[in-house]
Structure 1
Amino acid sequence: MTEREIPVHAQLSGVPETALWTLRNRAEEALRADSGFADAEAVRLYRRLGGEDFERFGPPSQVHALRAQVIDTVIAEFLGSHPGAPVVALGEGLQTTYWRLGEPESAWYSIELPEMIDAQERLLPAAPGITRLAYSALDRQWLEKVPSGPAVITAEGLFMYLPTADVHALIADLAAHFPGGVLVYDSIPRLFSAMTRTGRVRLSDRYTAPPMPTSQSPRQARRLPGRIPGVVAAQDLLPPRGRGRWGSPVLRWAADTPIGHALRPSITLLRFAQ
């Protein structure tokens, strides 16, 4: 079997399959001559998986590359002020953040379902700095294997697929286990969540996005410090300007209006009490 014949889709379905969707979007953006986004490892893997039916995910979008840039910045800034602190990537999928950041010296923990851990080990480069733990993010057993204390935790493309009560309970446990740490995650608006739950988000005639039961607006995020134990601050992070309409100053202005808050995806940074 050649490298271009690896049947990743045969092992991944449902939510795990979305890792191929986001991989394709990051790689396609990195391949554009007019893009400032670089992701050499995503491009390598995308080319290696050339036998995959990536067209089922519809036209490429820069949204996942813009999200990745926000996550990269949060991690880099936290490690800059907390040298040696661990990185905990919940539901990491086929993210290539570790390589975009130059393989940081901090311990890196990837928390993923067993089938995705298997895909990571087959497809991504050997990385002694990464510890892969085959657990659901909601299975608290993984917390026993990660040192307590300040850490930067990411949940990129994860929380929208989980029940809201479970997400809030998990955040409380993260705050307790990682005092002084931060958590960065992305959210979808309520309307989009409702559309996925009724199967109306069809990227093509061959692919329908999985249900996403949890939504969150920036306004709802601001209320979390008073509602989830251990959370002391919440910040709405806007992505960098992209190409075309994604770089429009008007769109930027609209995104920060009350209507924009209700209708747009968001990225939230939570800070935990010491």
Structure 2
Amino acid sequence: MAATVPDTTDIDGGVGLTALMVAAARAIETGRPDALARDEYAGHFVRAAPACAGWPIRPEEVPEGEADPLWGRLGRYFGLRTRVFDDHLLESAEAGIRQVVLLGAGLDTRAFRLPWPHDSAVFEIDQEPVLAFKQRTLDILGATPRVRRVPIAADLCLDTWQDALTAAGFDPARPTAWLAEGLFLYLPSAAERRVIAAVTAHSAAGSTFAYEVKRIAETAAVRNSPVYTAARERIGIDLLALFDPDPRPDSAADLTHHGWQTQTCTPFDHSHRLGRGPRPEPHDALAANRWTFAVHRP
């Protein structure tokens, strides 16, 4: 695939820039011989954005390999997260779910790269500049989704996204696989609670929901860890400034209260299971991360 550079606006700053950071990590992961996940589109997003000039998109462009705190350790974390959530969504599809909603979809290309059942539909919700940049890049590549893909420009901090979703053809009477990958880290606490409530209200029995949060307050030593420092100093992304500082809600408990069966794990649980990915280390910027997987059984 060859691409020219499309116009770009807000994708180059703030949370939009984190989507490009994750895309770079996925591109690097794709080139590893032991790749946890593969995304052949990811590198094209990085090269299409001027803010990412000079960022690596192949393993050989990261001299320190997995020892590099940004493109090694944090990058491998994003590869692991992609793999685990890929597996979750495909397991939901195998269980008969044909409706998928990606909350805060960013530069996600699951509609293009995963082997979905032919009658599936993937709804992607995110801010308009992010979706527009993604669409322009994919159009230049001539990319075709494997299933019906429905991008929806909406702000998840506002309740209007629910109406936009149903207007786009989403059917709340059918089981849905919901995913919030890298979303709740940046939302205010109250917005996270509203999203959780909306997902419950629009989920038929048998729906699934996977999401990522940080549940543990991070110490000063963790906040000064090489992962955060490298992201800030080398690519201009101050993750700590982007993370919402409010105390986080116990969303797993809220889901349980509303009839969901939940299981919460650490990323390291999956590193151990798969034999690849980051392992715990002192003053770890990944130690507070939790992944929750839920099934709605009202």
Q: TM-score range by the shorter chain?
A: 0.7 to 0.9
Q: Structure 1 residue 13: deviation in Å?
A: 1.6
**CA–CA distance in 2 between the matches of 1:214 and 1:147?**
35
Counterparts in 2 of 1:47 and 1:225: CA distance versus 1, 3 Å: closer
The aligned residue for residue 143 of structure 1 is 162
What is the correspondence of 1:179-198 to structure 2 with a 5 Å cutoff? 179-180=204-205, 181-192=207-218
Aligned residues: 256
The aligned residue for residue 186 of structure 2 is 161
What is the correspondence of 1:68-217 to structure 2 with a 5 Å cutoff? 68-83=82-97, 85-105=98-118, 106-124=120-138, 125-127=143-145, 129-144=148-163, 145=166, 146-149=170-173, 150-180=175-205, 181-192=207-218, 201-202=228-229, 203-205=231-233, 206-207=235-236, 208-209=238-239, 210-213=241-244
**CA–CA distance in 1 between the matches of 2:214 and 2:261?**
20
Counterparts in 2 of 1:177 and 1:32: CA distance versus 1, 3 Å: same
8 Å contact from structure 2 (residues 124, 149) kept in 1: yes
Structure 2, unpaired ranges of 5+: 57-68
CA deviations over 1:198-249 (Å, ceiling 9, x no partner) = xx933142412242126899x956533455xx34221124434467773x6x
SS at match of 2:41: helix
The aligned residue for residue 59 of structure 1 is 71
**CA–CA distance in 2 between the matches of 1:59 and 1:115?**
25
Letter in 2 for 1:122: R
Structure 1, unpaired ranges of 5+: 255-259
Q: Structure 1 residue 51: deviation in Å?
A: 7.7
Counterparts in 2 of 1:32 and 1:111: CA distance versus 1, 3 Å: same
Q: Give the aligned CA root-mean-square deviation in angstroms.
A: 3.6
**CA–CA distance in 2 between the matches of 1:245 and 1:26?**
13
CA deviations over 1:155-176 (Å, ceiling 9, x no partner) = 1100111111221222112111
The equivalent position to 2:253 in structure 1, one of 219, 223, 242, is 223
Q: Structure 1 residue 111: deviation in Å?
A: 0.5
Q: Structure 1 residue 142: deviation in Å?
A: 3.2
Percent identical residues: 21
SS at match of 1:15: helix
The aligned residue for residue 257 of structure 1 is none
Which piece of structure 1 moves more, 115-124 or 47-56? 47-56
SS at match of 1:24: helix
**CA–CA distance in 2 between the matches of 1:116 and 1:174?**
22
**CA–CA distance in 1 between the matches of 2:14 and 2:51?**
20
Which piece of structure 1 moves more, 123-132 or 68-77? 123-132
Counterparts in 2 of 1:89 and 1:98: CA distance versus 1, 3 Å: same
Letter in 2 for 1:20: L
SS at match of 2:217: helix
